[in-house]
Amino acid sequence: RPTLFELTDEYTKVQDYKMLTDAVLLNSVVFKPLFGPKADPNLRATIKVIKNHFTNASDSEIRSAVLNQMNSYFGIDNWNFGDTFYFSELSTYLHNTLAPNVASIIIVPNSTDIAFGGLLQINSNPDEIMISAATADNVQIISAITAAQINQTLAGLGIVV
């Protein structure tokens, strides 16, 4: 990650093209990978997809389509420094672009330390831009949403038997 001095030295000519009243701010960017193996362990997750019973699309076709649409959603032009990720927005986007093949989509943290719902909102720092690091291993086609599918147990729900 370049320092402020290195950025200023590298982009010194940019200062020549600014207007008198303009200011040029140089900052280094940090990409914040989400979901896949390149993500911080607390940001790794599995995207679980229930496919529409009436579709002829195979599981691998749906998995591939989900990954392609996630990569589009996390395109660099769609994000600003410090933006917050909301799974509800990604889920809506995936439902709209993958209809009618997909019935439902959930996100399940891979870490047992994070409860279901713990990744519904992810904040980034002012110098970070989020990107998807999801791979085919991070997208799972399931038949129904059950406690087992969302990594919940009776003990995890606070229920004592």
122 φ/ψ angles, rounded to the nearest 5 degrees: -130, 125
Q: Decide: helix, strand or coil at residue 15.
A: helix
Burial 59-98 (b: 16+ CB within 10 A, else e): eeebbebbbebbeebbeeeebeeeeebebeebbebbeebb
Reported pTM: 0.78
Ramachandran area for residue 82 (φ above 0: left; ψ -120 to 50: alpha; else beta): left
Helix (H, G, I), strand (E, B) or coil at 79: coil
Q: Which residue type, as a one-letter code, is found at position 131? A: I
- What is the pLDDT at residue 25? 67
As a whole number of angstroms, the distance between CA 140 and CA 52 comes to 14
pLDDT of res. 152: 56
CB-count exposure of residue 128 (10 Å: 0-12, 13-18, 19+): middle
Place of tokens 């147990």: 153
Tell me the pLDDT of the chain (161 aa) as tens digits. Answer: 667 677 667 777 776 666 666 776 666 678 999 999 999 999 999 999 999 999 999 999 999 999 999 999 999 999 999 999 999 999 999 999 999 999 999 999 999 888 888 999 999 999 899 999 999 999 999 988 877 777 655 444 454 43
For 7, other C-beta atoms within 10 Å of its C-beta total 16
The pLDDT, as a whole number, for residue 149 is 76
